[in-house]
C-alpha cells in the first residue's frame, strides 16, 4: 500500500474554523495525541539521497517502527509505507537499532488532532498538527493501491479545497521542512 499525503500551513487562528468545516464534511474526531518522531539513517546508504525514511514514533506511549520508501509521485508525498508496533520504549528501540549501525538523525515533536472522514470510498485522516519549531499545519492522508494513486491525490485535494485551503500544498515531510528551515537539508548525518 502507498501512503498519500498533502499538507498546508495554517495560522493558529484558523483552527476552530477548520474543526467546524471538518465536522460539516462528516468528520469524526479520533483524538488528540502527542507524537515524538525519531528519524534514523542507515549505516550503508544515505536515506537523504535514496529518499527513504526509517522512523520510530511514540504515539502517546505506543511505539511504532515505520519504513517509508522513495516517493513515486511529484504532486504529493506518495510512497510505500510499512509500520509495525514494537513492545518497547523509543529509547530501547534506538539502542537496539544503534547496534545494527543505524544513527539518530533528528527528532520531530508534534501535537496532532486527528479526524477521520469518508470521501468517495476512501478513509481519510485529517490531522491538525502543531509541530514544535514549525507551527501549524493541516495534513490529509490516506492509503491507496498503486493503481489508484492519481484518483487518491484528487480526493485529497478536494478535501483540502472543501476545508478552504486552495494551495499551494506542501509535499515535503516535517523533517525536510525543518531541515530546510535550519539550512541543513544536504545530508541526514547531522545528529
Whether the bond into 30 is cis, omega within 30 of 0: no
The predicted structure's pLDDT at residue 191: 28
Q: Which of 39, 115, 169, 174 is catalytic?
A: 39
Residues in the chain: 191
The verdict on whether 39 is a catalytic residue reads: yes
How many CA atoms lie within 13 Å of 187's alpha carbon, on the beta-carbon side? 7
Residue ranges in the chain assigned as alpha helix (H): 15-24, 47-50, 90-99, 149-162, 174-182
The predicted structure's pLDDT at residue 189: 35
Domains by residue range for the chain, with CATH: 2-182 (2.40.320.10)
The secondary structure of the chain in percent helix, strand, coil, rounded to multiples of 5, reads: 30, 45, 30
The predicted structure's pLDDT at residue 185: 56
The predicted structure's pLDDT at residue 142: 96
The predicted structure's pLDDT at residue 184: 65
pLDDT per residue, tens digit, the chain (191 aa), is 899 999 999 999 999 999 999 999 999 999 999 999 999 999 999 998 999 999 999 998 999 999 999 999 888 899 999 999 999 999 999 999 999 999 999 999 999 999 999 999 999 999 999 999 999 999 999 999 889 999 999 999 999 999 999 878 999 999 999 988 887 654 433 32
Amino acid at each position: 500500500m502507498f501512503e498519500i499525503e498533502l499538507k498546508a500551513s495554517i495560522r493558529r487562528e484558523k483552527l476552530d474554523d477548520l474543526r467546524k468545516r471538518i465536522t460539516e464534511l462528516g468528520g469524526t474526531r479520533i483524538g488528540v495525541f502527542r507524537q515524538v518522531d525519531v528519524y534514523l539513517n542507515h549505516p550503508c546508504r544515505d536515506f537523504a539521497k535514496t529518499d527513504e525514511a526509517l522512523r520510530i514514533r511514540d504515539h502517546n506511549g505506543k511505539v511504532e517502527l515505520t519504513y517509508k520508501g522513495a516517493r513515486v509521485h511529484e504532486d504529493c508525498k506518495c510512497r510505500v509505507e510499512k509500520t509495525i508496533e514494537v513492545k518497547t520504549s523509543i529509547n530501547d528501540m534506538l539502542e537496539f537499532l544503534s547496534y545494527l549501525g543505524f544513527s539518530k538523525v533528528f527528532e520531530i515533536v508534534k501535537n496532532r488532532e486527528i479526524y477521520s472522514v469518508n470521501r468517495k470510498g476512501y478513509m481519510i485522516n485529517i490531522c491538525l498538527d502543531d509541530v514544535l519549531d514549525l507551527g501549524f499545519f493541516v495534513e490529509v492522508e490516506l492509503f491507496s493501491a498503486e493503481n489508484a494513486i492519481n484518483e487518491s491525490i484528487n480526493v485529497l485535494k478536494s478535501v483540502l479545497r472543501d476545508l478552504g485551503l486552495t494551495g499551494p500544498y506542501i509535499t515535503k515531510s516535517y523533517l525536510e521542512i525543518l531541515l530546510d528551515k535550519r539550512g541543513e537539508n544536504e545530508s541526514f548525518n547531522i545528529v
